[in-house]
């Protein structure tokens, strides 16, 4: 059997971080088992679904790098209405579904009664049964189609995350599978899609646990082999509440991109939300695929921890080859007004500073002074600059000018001998020098920084 999993987002505005975690686990499971990972767009809610949000989802999947195997043939529910109608007709034909002509008022009365008695809402008035006479078909009412849910026994499945789950069938309604206008309902579409796509493992958020018994019963009526189910617990925010845009949480995957999070760090972080492999925190997706098993997914919710996300991001930034990092930083420098990053070469700058930032925006800021002297903070000037420092800086500039070899080592040697000559500690020269050249006191080793900025530019800045 080829393992087939799917990710089935509803395109209602943005790609939710919880959705990405679900997609990640489905993807890893498929990849681990050399199976297929499929994408399906659940766009039957015509009011809330827009083409723009579909693109946001596709772009988001692209950005994180979760590749799906039906890229040329993504399943859109809105393109499958004929197929849903066909299955509805089959179920009617088999007697597994039936028309129901109840009016709004009748349904309302049933709901009230059921609430009082704690039973299933619909009283199965139109359900055909041996020896039962159905009410006369009323005029002017377009019927809905209801599914004939078994009334006895229990529906159970062994959830690959949550364990044994069972629900007595008497607690389930004869759910509507087609509305009066003929359009199919949510749970029904999901069932037909999972069946047609040959999904073997339904991995999704645990907000769908209540839908599963309904879906299992329909699949059984269709004579389908049941898939395995794995329901993933929610992601909570740092306060332990359900993560949501409304509470001010960052939830859209693109917002994390804008925060300067690397896609590989995002996935690494999300992998650890509800899953663990010993104490491993920093890993690649190759390792994750190798290690991943649904039985290691925790059944209880996990909490966002932005500090940890930034820490993992910093590790991925450090591990990334500088040439690749340069491609991500160059556009961020352009936004900051630096368009020419050839001198010094951005890769070399990054090799020196990439362990100093936790996100790509901070890293871009860290590169700025290599290209343009920054305006020093008043407090730094107060602390490190005075007439003495100024005069000393000019003396040091003359020595720098006389250097025949412009390298970090040569600058370092000169720096040391100059401090000896002047009878000062190295910091007494280093800090004002940083301010004079970079405009900030926070830089890596000053000799390496000067070496990269280049002799001519350094002299120009120091003398200015
Ligand atoms: N469209 C559903 C959602 O976005 C997922 C349905 C499913 O995975 O079965 O929550």
The string of pLDDT tens digits covering residues 260-283 is 999 999 999 999 999 999 999 999
pLDDT surpassing 90 at residue 225? yes
Give the pLDDT confidence score for residue 78 in this predicted structure.
Answer: 95
Can you give the length of the chain in residues? 464
With the most atoms of ligand 1 within 8 angstroms of its CB, the residue from 208, 210, 214, 242 to mutate is: 208
Q: What is the mean pLDDT of residues 419-434?
A: 96
Give the pLDDT confidence score for residue 197 in this predicted structure.
Answer: 98
Q: What is the mean pLDDT of residues 230-255?
A: 94
Give the pLDDT confidence score for residue 117 in this predicted structure.
Answer: 83
In sign, the C-alpha dihedral spanning 226, 188, 36, 265 is: negative
Q: What is the mean pLDDT of residues 30-44?
A: 97
**Residue owning the nearest CA to atom 4 of ligand 1:** 9
With the most atoms of ligand 1 within 8 angstroms of its CB, the residue from 6, 10, 22, 195 to mutate is: 10
Q: Give the C-alpha separation, 361 to 332, whole Å.
A: 7
Q: How many CB atoms lie within 10 A of CB 335?
A: 9
Cβ(8) to ligand 1 under 6 A? Answer: yes
Give the pLDDT confidence score for residue 209 in this predicted structure.
Answer: 97
Give the pLDDT confidence score for residue 338 in this predicted structure.
Answer: 98
pTM of the shown model: 0.94
Query: E strands along 241-333, which residues?
Result: 302-303
The closest of 288, 309, 167, 315 to 235, measured between CA atoms, is 309
Burial class (CB in 10 A: 0-12, 13-18, 19+), 371: buried
Cβ(204) to ligand 1 under 6 A? Answer: yes
Cβ(392) to ligand 1 under 6 A? Answer: no
pLDDT surpassing 80 at residue 453? yes
With the most atoms of ligand 1 within 8 angstroms of its CB, the residue from 4, 9, 242 to mutate is: 9
Query: E strands along 423-463, which residues?
Result: none
Q: Give the C-alpha separation, 51 to 59, whole Å.
A: 12
| Nearest-10 Cα torsion for 150, 151, 153, 158 | 50
Cβ(439) to ligand 1 under 6 A? Answer: no
Residue 245 annotated in active site: yes
Give the pLDDT confidence score for residue 105 in this predicted structure.
Answer: 92
Q: What is the mean pLDDT of residues 22-27?
A: 98
**Predicted confidence band of residue 47 (pLDDT cuts 50, 70, 90):** confident
Taking only the tens place, the pLDDT of each residue in 108-147 is: 999 998 888 877 789 999 999 999 999 999 999 999 999 9
**Predicted confidence band of residue 336 (pLDDT cuts 50, 70, 90):** very high
User: Torsions phi, psi of 70, nearest 5?
Assistant: -110, 40
Give the pLDDT confidence score for residue 190 in this predicted structure.
Answer: 98
Give the pLDDT confidence score for residue 115 in this predicted structure.
Answer: 87
Q: Give the C-alpha separation, 285 to 32, whole Å.
A: 11
Residues with Cβ within 8 Å of 411's Cβ and at least 6 positions away in sequence, in order, are 400, 403, 447, 450, 451
Q: How many CB atoms lie within 10 A of CB 46?
A: 9
List 245, 318, 324, 442, catalytic entry? 245
Give the pLDDT confidence score for residue 46 in this predicted structure.
Answer: 82
Q: What is the mean pLDDT of residues 192-215?
A: 98
| Nearest-10 Cα torsion for 48, 53, 54, 60 | -140
- Write out the DSSP string of 151-220: SSSEEEEEETTTEEEEEEGGGS---EEE-TTSPBPHHHHHHHHHHHHT-SEEEEEGGGGGGHHHHHHHHH
Give the pLDDT confidence score for residue 102 in this predicted structure.
Answer: 96
**Residues 97, 65: contact at Cβ < 8 Å?**
no
Q: Of 57-71, 238-252, 300-314, 328-342, which gets the smallest average pLDDT? A: 238-252
Cβ(208) to ligand 1 under 6 A? Answer: yes
Taking only the tens place, the pLDDT of each residue in 138-150 is: 999 999 999 999 9
Q: Of 43-47, 181-185, 450-454, which gets the smallest average pLDDT? A: 43-47
Residues with Cβ within 8 Å of 321's Cβ and at least 6 positions away in sequence, in order, are none
| Averaged confidence pLDDT in the chain | 96
Q: How many CB atoms lie within 10 A of CB 419?
A: 18
| 245 assigned ligand-binding residue | yes
Give the pLDDT confidence score for residue 114 in this predicted structure.
Answer: 86
Q: How many angstroms is it from 8 CA to the middle of ligand 1?
A: 5
**Residues 236, 302: contact at Cβ < 8 Å?**
yes
Q: What is the 8-class DSSP label of residue 407?
A: S
Q: What is the 8-class DSSP label of residue 33?
A: T
User: Torsions phi, psi of 74, nearest 5?
Assistant: -65, 140
In sign, the C-alpha dihedral spanning 305, 307, 309, 312 is: negative
């Amino acid at each position: 059997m080829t393992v087939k999993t799917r990710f089935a987002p509803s395109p209602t505005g943005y790609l939710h971080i919880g959705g990405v975690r679900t997609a990640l686990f489905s993807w890893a499971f498929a990849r681990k088992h050399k199976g297929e990972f499929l994408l399906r767009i659940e766009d039957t809610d015509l009011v809330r679904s827009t083409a723009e949000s579909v693109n946001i989802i596709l772009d988001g999947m692209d950005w994180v790098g979760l590749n799906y195997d039906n890229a040329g043939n993504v399943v859109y529910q809105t393109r499958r209405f004929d197929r849903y109608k066909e299955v509805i007709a089959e179920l009617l034909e088999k007697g597994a579904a039936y028309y129901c002509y109840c009016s709004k008022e009748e349904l309302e009365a049933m709901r009230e009664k059921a609430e009082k008695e704690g039973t299933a809402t619909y009283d199965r008035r139109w359900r055909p049964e041996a020896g039962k006479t159905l009410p006369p078909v009323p005029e002017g009412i377009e019927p809905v189609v209801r599914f004939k849910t078994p009334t006895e026994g229990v529906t159970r499945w062994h959830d690959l995350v949550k364990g044994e789950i069972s629900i007595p069938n008497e607690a389930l309604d004869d759910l509507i599978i087609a509305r009066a206008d003929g359009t199919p309902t949510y749970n029904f579409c999901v069932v037909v899609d999972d069946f047609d796509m040959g999904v073997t493992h339904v991995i999704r958020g645990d907000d769908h646990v209540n839908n599963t018994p309904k879906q299992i019963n329909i699949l059984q009526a269709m004579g389908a082999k049941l898939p395995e189910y794995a329901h993933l617990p929610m992601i909570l925010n740092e306060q332990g509440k359900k993560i949501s845009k409304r509470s001010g949480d960052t939830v859209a995957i693109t917002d994390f991109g804008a925060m300067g999070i690397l896609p590989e760090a995002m996935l690494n972080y999300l992998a650890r939300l509800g899953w663990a492999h010993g104490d491993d925190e920093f890993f690649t997706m190759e390792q994750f695929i190798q290690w991943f098993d649904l039985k290691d997914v925790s059944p209880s919710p996990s909490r966002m921890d932005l500090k940890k996300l930034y820490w993992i991001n910093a590790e991925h930034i450090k591990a990334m080859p500088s040439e690749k990092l340069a491609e991500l930083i160059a556009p961020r420098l352009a936004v900051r007004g630096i368009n020419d990053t050839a001198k010094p070469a951005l890769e070399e700058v990054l090799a020196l500073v990439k362990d100093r930032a936790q996100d790509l925006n901070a890293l871009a800021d860290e590169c700025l002074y290599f290209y343009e002297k920054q305006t020093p903070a008043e407090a730094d000037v107060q602390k490190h600059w005075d007439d003495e420092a100024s005069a000393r800086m000019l003396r040091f500039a003359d020595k720098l000018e006389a250097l025949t070899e412009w390298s970090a080592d040569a600058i370092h040697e000169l720096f040391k001998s100059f401090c000896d000559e002047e009878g000062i500690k190295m910091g007494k020269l280093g800090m004002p020098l940083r301010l004079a050249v970079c405009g900030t006191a926070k830089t890596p080793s000053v000799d390496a920084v000067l070496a990269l900025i280049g002799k001519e530019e350094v002299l120009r800045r120091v003398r200015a």
